[in-house]
Amino acid sequence: MASSSQSLEQEIESLRQKIRHHEYLYYVLDHPEISDREFDQLMRQLKDLEAEHPALIIPDSPTQRVGGKPREGFVKIPHSSPMLSLDNTYNEEELRAWERRVHELSGRKDIDYVCELKLDGMSLALIYEDGKLVRGITRGDGSVGEEVTLNVRTVRSIPLSIDPGQRKAAGMPSAFEVRGELLMPTAAFQKLNAEREREGLTPFANPRNFTAGTVRQLDASVTAQRRLDFFPYILLTKGRSYFDHHWKTLDALKQAGFKVNPNRELAHSMEEVWAFIREWEGKRDSLEYEIDGIVVKVDRTALQAELGFTGKAPRWAIAYKYAARAGITKLEDIRVQVGRTGKLTPVALLAPVLIGGTTVRNATLHNLDEIERLGVKIGDWVQVERGGDVIPKVVKVIADKDRPRGHKSFHMPETCPVCGTQVVRTAGEVDYRCVNANCPAKLRETILHFASRGIMNIDGMGEALVTQLMDHGLVKDVADIYQLTKKDLLGLERFADKSAQNILHEIERSKKLPLERVIYGLGIRFVGERTAQFLAEYFGSMKELEQASTELLQEVNEVGPRIAHSIAEFFSIGANRKLLQRLQDAGLTMSGRKTKRGTKLAGKTFVLTGTLAHFTRDEARKMIEDAGGKVTGSVSKKTDWVIAGDDAGSKLDKAKELGIRVIDENALEKLLR
């Protein structure tokens, strides 16, 4: 018996080792050796084994990256030694002045420097004990940070545990602290931000802010969905450097399984440092993430200690900052754009200017508050920056004798520039909105959203085509797409037989896409890809979703009052219900995979309340539904049973008041048997 359980343990552990190895190849080295599918199979195998033997689950198992319930807030934790920032230099002369100071203070000139990329993310401390990740802490104010362990555990390039053999080979201790930069690759940033916009949420200005917003999610499963990356650059024990050379530190971290940035160099002179700086200034656009400069560090740690620090920055390191890719140009006008949710965004129309290889003609001014903060007027000369941001932005007004100020102030229009409806600014909100549900600008954005990749995926139905279709009065809402004929398309500019055929084919194909895509495509405020998926799984059909009360909607995973209200509001509008009917008539998928349901609890209605000991609420709901029962969010005369866990609140009182049967989860299990 004992030996068989040991071999099971061994089997599970070797499976974990295998998965860790492939995670390392994929997330750290960017060099997978097996397909995603094979990887998923290994993971599934491990999950199944762990589900059968929950006693054998360990915290650093690859299955345990996400776990636990959303927290109430973050705990503050002091750092082992202050997390410093860096002094900046902006030209060669300033860099040379820094070098001179290093020479003077150390009394020597033969100094090696390590050059690293200055990654534009946020710094993070990771504490490992006994080779296992135990805590992740944000920089905070440098002395005290916030504990974000559950979030950082979801970052795949951060090892949850270090292989003891590898650790020893790397010469690393078993208890240590790693500091480095957490960041979001530019492509992931752009994709996620576009999704946010589609969902009617305010987009993040740049990947750095998005990273900070992501790691501070109270619900770590949200962090897990957004791909973050971590590059370490400091190793400490008891708040001090561990190795005698920084270069050695980076190599050891790499050997231990961390994703050390490969773009680094050990320079034996300031000439070599300068060459590295110049080299990367030209190559920065080729990286998958943003950098804003180069960090130069004295290699020998004894010398670092000798040099010490001033205020909040070390004397042994310096940042060389690249100029933000900026340009100066004239702001010729301000146009107001109306988004899918009706939000009015002022956009600067600029005299074309070349910034970092791209011609920039528009820049965002965000909102009226921002225009007031900048004090910008039409006709001003402005500085425009292009960072990792989605659209360039106006950063300041230039006023000197060669560049006179403009005179015309901008006013937010009182009516929508597209449909003429009165514009509304809700008290306490920054944004102005057009509230006309039929505003053509909103419709246009809604149609583009519906047809876009990842939703109904109608290839070819981009801005140009949608504008034409609307101008010709052929499409007024998403259902009209499905009435288009070849004749309609041939009447448009640049449409020949073949291209018309292609679009019709794409439209036809979209009808087969699953229910969750249709739900997502409707553009209901706050309903993104993931929520749409949960809704489709829960309700199984558009009809059931349409009829759901706000209480029932809140039974769905991750749906709170705000989202529930938005969904219910959408379906309460007659025009929207008609639209859905037309989509159904056109042959779109309006129901999902019907899970095979039992009949044991057919026709019975349950309400779940309090914390259950053996299952999550979702699991209990699924069990009831699989047996043909129904779970609702509030207790009424129609409720047959209330399943009460610990700390059951008002629903329990209501059940007692109405004389409804209240049972615990054991009794529920009996009902299901």
Q: Binding residues for ligand IVH, per CB under 6 A? A: 84-86, 116, 118-119, 123, 181, 233, 295, 314, 317, 319
Place of tokens 């995973």: 557
**DSSP secondary structure code for residue 323 in this structure:** P
Let me know: does 202 contact 193? Beta carbons within 8 Å.
no
Rg of the chain over all Cα atoms, to the nearest angstrom: 29
118 is catalytic: yes
Residue nearer to ligand IVH on the CB measure, 314 or 514:
314
CB of 193 vs ligand IVH, minimal distance in Å: 22
Let me know: does 197 contact 256? Beta carbons within 8 Å.
no
Residue nearer to ligand IVH on the CB measure, 310 or 599:
310
Tokens coding 429: 């909100």
Let me know: does 63 contact 16? Beta carbons within 8 Å.
no
Annotated catalytic residue, options 118, 343, 393, 442 = 118
CB of 242 vs ligand IVH, minimal distance in Å: 15
Residue nearer to ligand IVH on the CB measure, 32 or 213:
213
Residue nearer to ligand IVH on the CB measure, 274 or 571:
274
Cα-based distances in Å from 655 to 440, 603, 650:
49, 19, 9
Burial letters 501-530, b for 16+ CB under 10 A, else e: eebeebbeebeebebbbbbbbbbbbbbbbb
**DSSP secondary structure code for residue 28 in this structure:** I
Residues 6+ apart with CB under 8 A from 3: none
Let me know: does 394 contact 348? Beta carbons within 8 Å.
yes
Residue nearer to ligand IVH on the CB measure, 120 or 445:
120
d(CA 229, CA 218): 19
Residue nearer to ligand IVH on the CB measure, 157 or 639:
157
CB of 123 vs ligand IVH, minimal distance in Å: 3
Sign of CA dihedral 276, 279, 282, 284: negative
CB of 210 vs ligand IVH, minimal distance in Å: 15
The residue sitting closest to ligand IVH, measured at its beta carbon, is 123
| SS3 category, 622 | helix
Let me know: does 186 contact 289? Beta carbons within 8 Å.
yes
Residue nearer to ligand IVH on the CB measure, 231 or 570:
231
CB of 120 vs ligand IVH, minimal distance in Å: 7
CB atoms within 10 A of CB 665: 18
Residue nearer to ligand IVH on the CB measure, 295 or 363:
295
d(CA 608, CA 612): 9
Beta bridge partners of residue 126, listed in sequence order: 136, 178
CB of 111 vs ligand IVH, minimal distance in Å: 17
Place of tokens 């070390």: 314
CB of 69 vs ligand IVH, minimal distance in Å: 30
Continuous segment of H or E residues that includes residue 75: none
| SS3 category, 397 | strand
Tokens coding 372: 């007031």
CB of 133 vs ligand IVH, minimal distance in Å: 20
Residue nearer to ligand IVH on the CB measure, 11 or 279:
279
Phi, psi of 338 (to 5 degrees): -110, 125
d(CA 20, CA 15): 9
Amino acid at residue number 241: S
Residue nearer to ligand IVH on the CB measure, 106 or 174:
106
Amino acid at residue number 368: L
Sort residue 37 into left (φ over 0), alpha (ψ -120 to 50) or beta: alpha
d(CA 375, CA 372): 5
Burial letters 86-114, b for 16+ CB under 10 A, else e: bbebeeeeebeebbeebeeebeeeebbbb
Let me know: does 230 contact 259? Beta carbons within 8 Å.
yes
d(CA 387, CA 321): 13
CB of 468 vs ligand IVH, minimal distance in Å: 47
CB of 73 vs ligand IVH, minimal distance in Å: 24
| SS3 category, 7 | helix
Let me know: does 339 contact 523? Beta carbons within 8 Å.
no
Q: How far out from the chain centre does Cα 529 lie? A: 12
Residue nearer to ligand IVH on the CB measure, 77 or 119:
119
CB of 573 vs ligand IVH, minimal distance in Å: 48
d(CA 512, CA 505): 12
Residue nearer to ligand IVH on the CB measure, 189 or 432:
189
Amino acid at residue number 254: K
**DSSP secondary structure code for residue 303 in this structure:** H
CB of 256 vs ligand IVH, minimal distance in Å: 18
Residues marked as catalytic: 118
